Amino acid sequence: MSENNDPKRELSLAEKRELLAKMLRNRAMQEKQSFEASPTQQALCFMQALDPTSSIYHLQSCLRIKTTAYPDFYRETFQQIVNRHAMLRSVFKISEEKSLVIRGAMDAPFQQIDASGWTDQQMMDEVHRHFNEPFDLENGPLIRFQLFTRSADDHVLLILVHHLICDGWSLAMIRKEFRETCRAAKNQLPPPVFPTPSVEFWDYVRKYNALLSGPEGKAMEAYWKDQFKSSIPRLNLRPEVARPQKRNWILGESNFVLEKELYEKLSLLAQSRGITLFAFVVTAYQLMLAHHSNQEEFLIGFPVAGRSIGIEFEGVVGHFVNMVILRLNLAGDPTFTEILARTWTQVCGAMANQEYPYCRLARFFRSENRDPLEPLTQVMINYLKVKQDDEIVDLNIEEASTVSDWGNDLSPFPLKSVGEHYDLALRFMDNGKKLYGRLQYATDLFDENDAKDFGSSFLNLLQQGVEQPEQRLSQLLKTSIVQSTRKQPRQNGLFSVWWNKLIRWTGIDSHG
């Protein structure tokens, strides 16, 4: 018997603390606990309750498995993940003040579905149908693991979770734990040991609420009040297109890549100016929005991880993500350099006040004819720096997904037309060598050709910004925008004074 197993040996202080923590975790696993949900979760509950059948808040990771699958092993692996992360066992009692309820124990909701004989289209249709099946917020579960088996070496694995209990960071952790467990088993290695978090999501909620009610919270509130002290018009992309009263919210997708040469030029320029590559892509994005809307001022949203209040929360599954708003202005026909400086000022201010909940910003927002249930912005941008190539899998970009830590037998299974209600959502993955972009667009406003033109024009604007940073906006749009074959509409009364001047100066048609 070793010294550590000697029952007579006195435990050290660290061992006593570890034993107590283990006992408390085991006790928690046997009991149901109730906590107050975060402000963002409460707002999300409200929005989901308005449309209970909507799948807008469903997050997914979907993989094609072209090798033998092991359902029992998958089930046990997912069970360990559910046991380790308390939020995956949660439900929401909407009528109660403390609406977040954590189950002490829960069977992992794993299901194998017989897909033998299905065509590719049937597989796609069925996976989409299961993706769209609503969650029961009050009874749960709010996560599902489904394996569609067409043959012994042809499967699709769908990991589906409600946004109330998970965000993109958390989903990446779930995917990583599953991947590393499978890899160890495949290589006949001992299963990896993942640490059980020392804190839980409800610890974050308590700390977060204390932050908001303290001096820092008041300062953040003052910043956002100042940002919205003057009214701003609703962004009206494609003003020549009649918006249907009921949007279909079917999303199209188009991918493009910022190649190594331009990536390196932009990175060096950003470094020399003490800014980030993100500021460049936001600058180019707003120029494209100005081109499509004929507006010189608008809002862009971008998500932040929401874990900046404590490093201890980095390993916790939950809904931490927050949306930050940039108020951007292109008045005065500025140069690319001037636009970049304005953008960087806005990015720095927003990031310094990123913890303030997005759901509370509507109180300060002034806009004409705005539906109070409508998002503050119709467009968003997301920018992720990644270290592992497998994190690019979810972008479904051929070049990016060919190099993957998952192995040759797994590949992304692309689920189309899923996402939040934005007119445009621009997403980037930065792997330190190239920038992989995906444009998601509302198909009742844009078509496939528009999206391809967008990607080409976006890259042209960045190239022009590097080569001729003192070019003014009017000239940038004249030389960089790819002209679409779409029939050109007649002008309407939505043009700003500045934009009418631009048309006269350049002679270009504004709706290319």
CA atoms within 13 A on the CB side of 179: 20
**Pairwise CA distance, residues 117 & 114, whole Å:** 9
Crossing angle of helices 473-480 and 497-506, in 10° steps, is 60
Task: Please give the residue range of the domain that contains residue 295.
Answer: 205-396+414-506
What confidence tier does 203 reach under pLDDT thresholds 50, 70, 90?
very high
The whole-angstrom separation of Cα 231 and Cα 214 is 28
Q: CA torsion angle for 486, 490, 493, 496 (degrees, to 10)?
A: 60
Does 12 have pLDDT greater than 90?
Answer: no
- Residue 316 is assigned to a structural domain of this protein: yes
Mean pLDDT for the stretch of residues 165-193: 92
CA atoms within 13 A on the CB side of 282: 31
Segment 74-79 shows an average pLDDT of 96
pLDDT band with cut points at 50, 70 and 90 for residue 20: low
- Report the C-alpha gap between 398 and 282 in whole angstroms: 25
State whether 164 and 26 are in the same domain.
yes
Structure tokens at 202: 């409800």
**77 plus 185 within the same structural domain:** yes
Among 170, 193, 216, the domain-final residue is 193
Tell me which of 193, 218, 244 is where a domain ends. Answer: 193
Instruction: Give the pair of three-digit tokens for residue 126.
Output: 């069925």
**Is residue 246 over pLDDT 60?**
yes
Q: Do 266 and 380 share a domain, yes or no?
A: yes
For the chain, how many structural domains are there in total? Answer: 2
Average pLDDT over residues 483-509: 37
Query: Residue 373's CB: how many other CB atoms inside 10 A?
Result: 9
The band of 151, judged by pLDDT with boundaries at 50, 70 and 90, is: very high
Is residue 375's pLDDT more than 60? yes
Residue with tokens 């919210």: 249
Q: What tens digit of pLDDT does each residue of 328-356 get? A: 999 999 999 999 999 999 999 999 999 99
How confident is the model over 276-308, as pLDDT tens digits?
999 999 999 999 999 999 999 999 999 999 999
Query: Does some domain include residue 277?
Result: yes
**What is the pLDDT of the chain when averaged over all its residues?**
84
Q: For residue 127, what is the domain's CATH number?
A: 3.30.559.10
CATH of residue 252: 3.30.559.30
User: Domain check: are 175 and 251 in the same one?
Assistant: no
Residue 509 has pLDDT above 50, yes or no: no
Same-domain status, 146 and 210: no
On whether both 161 and 211 belong to a single domain, the answer is: no
| Degrees to nearest 5, angle at CA 502 with 496 and 507 | 130
Residue 275 sits in the same domain as residue 310: yes
